[in-house]
Amino acid sequence: MIIALFRRPFYFAETKEQMYLIGIGSLYLVILTGIFAGQGFALAFSNELADFGAKDYLGRIMTIAIVRELGPVLAALMIAARVAAGITAEIGAMKSSNQLNALLSFGIDPIQKLAVPRLLALIVMVPVLTIFCDVIALFGGYIIAVFLAHVSGTMYFAAVKERLIFGNLFIGILKPIVFSFVIAFIACYKGFYSEGGTKGVGKATTESVVLSSIIILVVNFFITKMASSFLKGYL
């Protein structure tokens, strides 16, 4: 699939369509996830921090947790649940109804026509949706900070701004890019190799969502581990 990324022809229309389907289609999920995750996280930590008289640090903790960990992981999990299932089901159904063979018989490479536009769309849209998720979650944290934890809004945003440094932002963008590869590879692979008709497509779809969710969590751990070693001075 990687080689096909750089091979002609380029399917711009399909890529644009997929970007719309993935981006706009997943936006409401990401917004809901971001707002409630941010609020829940802020609520739990504001209580803990209050015990130490450190409620002013809520913005710092929220930024580190959301931008580096929760935002990328939650957004990727939501996109995996929605998009990976769709990709696997669509390609699997095309396989079981001979449409992939029909593409081949017309001299079209199904990887190039189906997988590459989805990969490109994910590479663009997962980071964009993650940024949305981060912003919404931090805003959710702000609501809790101001109205429940009684932290001043200025203080909260000053703390957020203080932690929006290169290291955190780099990790926050690197993760969704890596996750987009994970989702695209697993979803397309499961679709192309699904067998056993409609039942097989259903099984492949479930496996695709489960596997991509687990791999996202595993990869997230290793990126965090490596980042804490390589970006020590920037965090």
Among 56, 69, 109, 207, binds other proteins (CB under 8 A): 109
Contact between 197 and other proteins by CB under 8 A: the answer reads no
94 vs 102: CA distance, rounded Å? 9
Q: Which stretch binds other proteins (CB under 8 A): 101-109, 127-135, 155-163, 212-220?
A: 101-109
Which residues neighbour 196 within 8 Å (Cβ) at sequence distance 6 or greater?
203
Contact between 154 and other proteins by CB under 8 A: the answer reads no
Among 60, 99, 157, 170, binds other proteins (CB under 8 A): 99
Q: Please state the three-class secondary structure of 150-161 as a single string.
A: CCCHHHHHHHHH
Among 24, 32, 44, 104, binds other proteins (CB under 8 A): 104
Best CA proximity match to 182, nearest among 29, 49, 75: 75
Contact between 108 and other proteins by CB under 8 A: the answer reads yes
Helix, strand, coil percent content, the chain, rounded in steps of 5: 90, 0, 10
Contact between 107 and other proteins by CB under 8 A: the answer reads yes
- The answer to whether 205 and 180 have CB atoms below 8 angstroms apart is no
Q: Of how many residues is the chain composed? A: 235
Among 51, 53, 105, 154, binds other proteins (CB under 8 A): 105
Best CA proximity match to 136, nearest among 78, 82, 177, 84: 78
Give me the least distance between CB of 198 and other proteins, in Å please: 14
Q: Which stretch binds other proteins (CB under 8 A): 90-98, 142-150, 159-167, 186-194?
A: 90-98
Q: What residue ranges bind other proteins (CB under 8 A)?
A: 93-94, 97-99, 101-102, 104-109
